[in-house]
């Protein structure tokens, strides 16, 4: 895929000339003629490089550059300042505003192309880090009441224990049990964000809606108010939110509800990892097998489902490890022992299990699951044992 370059210049002739030169060198070109348009396109298009003119009618290039550097989603984009100003003070102002390079007009096309190649080459080493920081993990249940929110909350909390900076988001409108588990009083953040026009769903508008748990874990929450279940935002807005949260969390963890709904079918395309939570009852396992097969058909071959068993209590009437594998038609990779008493105690103090009792067996298993999700680019299935 060719690198994408945003060219910002109010001189249409200059815009066309630079754009033509870039296209001849194999780059994808997007254009903006004023500063405000440049900010919008930088946030929505995520260019690999910005060529930015200084003299523009609404905002000058220095103001645009400073604004780009303030926001997480555009902060790391390399910027070349391009202007007719030749004084040293002008160049210093450009670098102080955050530019990576500064060229004066007229510039020979070969020099501009050389500077672009050099800057793009330097930025390549930073791209894997940006991708790693933007991992997305979705957690869904085959049906309600199997512990989906508990798994999602503890995956996020375990990543925080590991030194990451996760965000957890609850997409279960009107069923927001995460807000209750975290003891959060303000629970309208998710609806507030998704009620905005799609072009306004950006990190800078999401940040004020986040709730910060006493542990420091950040959350975008839905409420448990029944009337919120009628809320039905456009799928385009939800996808825009997921992509914005990808840039804000390391990782971003999503509680996405139960069943293979149209929302989940669309969302799974945006997820690096997907956890499906199931209990071991024969009926639920049959449902799980069908859902897992459908998920496998939707996701890439390297993201096929794997199974993690969550065991609440031993029972001779429940399927064995081998029987669960046979029913689901796939290997079980790990078990998690979730005692109901431990879950109740953690809920009582509004604390994730891994933070409430870090040395408990369940905590160790949940932390191991979070590490597995963190490093594997696969779909993961969690099977919950009652």
d(CA 166, CA 218): 7
> Which residues make up the CATH 3.40.50.2300 domain(s) of the chain?
4-125
Helix (H, G, I), strand (E, B) or coil at 200: helix
CB-CB contact of 81 with 56 (8 Å): no
Q: What angle do CA 273, 77, 137 make, to 5 degrees?
A: 10
Q: What does the pLDDT read at residue 134?
A: 61
Q: Which tokens in the block code for residue 109?
A: 């096309």
Residue corresponding to tokens 């249409």: 12
Q: What does the pLDDT read at residue 98?
A: 84
Enumerate residues 6+ apart whose C-beta is below 8 A from 369.
155, 158, 308, 334, 336, 380, 382
Q: What does the pLDDT read at residue 31?
A: 93
Q: What does the pLDDT read at residue 220?
A: 96
CB-CB contact of 211 with 218 (8 Å): yes
Torsion sign (Cα): 133, 213, 360, 307: negative
Torsion sign (Cα): 92, 98, 102, 105: negative
Q: What does the pLDDT read at residue 247?
A: 87
Q: Which tokens in the block code for residue 294?
A: 């459908």
CATH architecture designation of domain 130-385: 3-Layer(aba) Sandwich (3.40)
Q: Which tokens in the block code for residue 228?
A: 């919120």
d(CA 383, CA 288): 9
pTM: 0.64
d(CA 273, CA 308): 13
Q: Which tokens in the block code for residue 116?
A: 């672009």
> Which residues make up the CATH 3.40.50.300 domain(s) of the chain?
130-385
Q: Which tokens in the block code for residue 288?
A: 């799980």
Half-sphere exposure of 370 (CA within 13 A, CB side): 27
Q: In the chain, which ranges are continuous DSSP H helix?
A: 12-24, 35-45, 61-70, 88-97, 109-124, 127-133, 148-161, 177-181, 189-194, 203-206, 235-248, 262-267, 282-298, 321-328, 340-348, 353-356, 361-375
CATH architecture designation of domain 4-125: 3-Layer(aba) Sandwich (3.40)
Q: What does the pLDDT read at residue 70?
A: 83
Q: Which residues of 332-342 are buried (b: 16+ CB within 10 A; e: fewer)?
A: beeebbbeeeb
Q: What does the pLDDT read at residue 146?
A: 76
Q: Which tokens in the block code for residue 297?
A: 């058909």
Q: What does the pLDDT read at residue 88?
A: 62
d(CA 303, CA 291): 15
Tens-of-pLDDT digits for all 386 residues of the chain? Answer: 578 899 999 888 888 888 888 888 888 899 999 989 999 999 888 898 999 988 888 888 899 999 998 887 788 889 998 877 655 666 777 777 888 888 887 777 878 888 888 888 766 544 443 333 468 999 998 888 778 899 999 999 999 988 888 999 999 998 888 988 998 877 889 999 999 999 899 998 999 999 999 999 999 999 888 888 889 899 999 999 999 999 898 899 999 988 888 888 888 888 888 888 888 888 889 999 999 888 888 876 556 666 666 667 666 677 887 888 889 888 776 677 778 889 899 999 999 999 999 988 889 889 988 888 875 533 455 655 54
Q: Which residues of 154-184 are buried (b: 16+ CB within 10 A; e: fewer)?
A: bbbbbbbbeebebbbbbbbbebbbbbebbeb
Distance of CA 14 to the CA centre of its chain: 37
d(CA 273, CA 379): 5
Q: DSSP class of residue 48?
A: S
211-212/218-220 β-pairing: antiparallel
d(CA 218, CA 157): 10
CB-CB contact of 159 with 175 (8 Å): no
């Amino acid at each position: 895929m060719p690198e994408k370059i945003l060219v910002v210049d109010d001189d249409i002739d200059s815009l066309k000339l630079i754009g033509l030169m870039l296209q001849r060198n194999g780059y994808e070109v997007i254009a903006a003629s004023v500063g405000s348009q440049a900010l919008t396109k930088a946030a929505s298009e995520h260019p690999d490089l910005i060529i930015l003119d200084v003299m523009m009618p609404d905002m000058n290039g220095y103001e645009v550059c400073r604004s780009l550097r303030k926001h997480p989603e555009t902060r790391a984009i390399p910027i070349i300042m391009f202007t007719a100003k030749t004084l040293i003070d002008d160049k210093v102002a450009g670098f102080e505003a955050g530019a990576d390079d500064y060229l004066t007009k007229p510039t020979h096309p070969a020099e501009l192309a050389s500077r672009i190649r050099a800057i793009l080459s330097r930025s390549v080493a930073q791209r894997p880090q940006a991708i790693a920081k933007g991992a997305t993990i979705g957690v869904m249940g085959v049906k309600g009441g199997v512990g989906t929110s508990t798994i999602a909350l503890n995956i996020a909390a375990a990543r925080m224990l590991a030194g990451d900076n996760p965000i957890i988001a609850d997409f279960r409108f009107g069923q927001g049990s995460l807000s209750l588990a975290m003891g959060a009083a303000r629970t309208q953040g998710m609806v507030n964000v998704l009620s905005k026009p799609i072009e306004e769903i950006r990190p800078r508008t999401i940040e004020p809606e986040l709730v910060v748990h006493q542990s420091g874990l950040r959350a975008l929450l839905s409420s448990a108010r029944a009337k919120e279940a009628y809320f039905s935002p456009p799928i385009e807005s939800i996808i825009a939110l997921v992509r914005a949260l990808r840039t804000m969390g390391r990782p971003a963890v999503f509680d996405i509800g139960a069943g293979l709904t149209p929302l989940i079918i669309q969302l799974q395309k945006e997820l690096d990892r997907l956890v499906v939570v199931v209990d071991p009852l024969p009926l639920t396992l049959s449902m799980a097998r069908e859902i897992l097969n459908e998920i496998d058909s939707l996701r890439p071959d390297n993201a096929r489902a794997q199974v993690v068993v969550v065991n609440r209590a031993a029972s001779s009437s429940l399927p064995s490890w081998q029987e669960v594998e046979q029913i689901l038609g796939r290997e079980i990779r790990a078990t998690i022992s979730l005692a109901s008493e431990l879950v109740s105690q953690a809920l009582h103090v509004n604390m994730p299990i891994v933070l409430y009792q870090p040395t408990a067996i369940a905590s160790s298993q949940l932390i191991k699951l979070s590490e597995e999700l963190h490093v594997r680019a696969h779909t993961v299935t969690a099977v919950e044992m009652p």
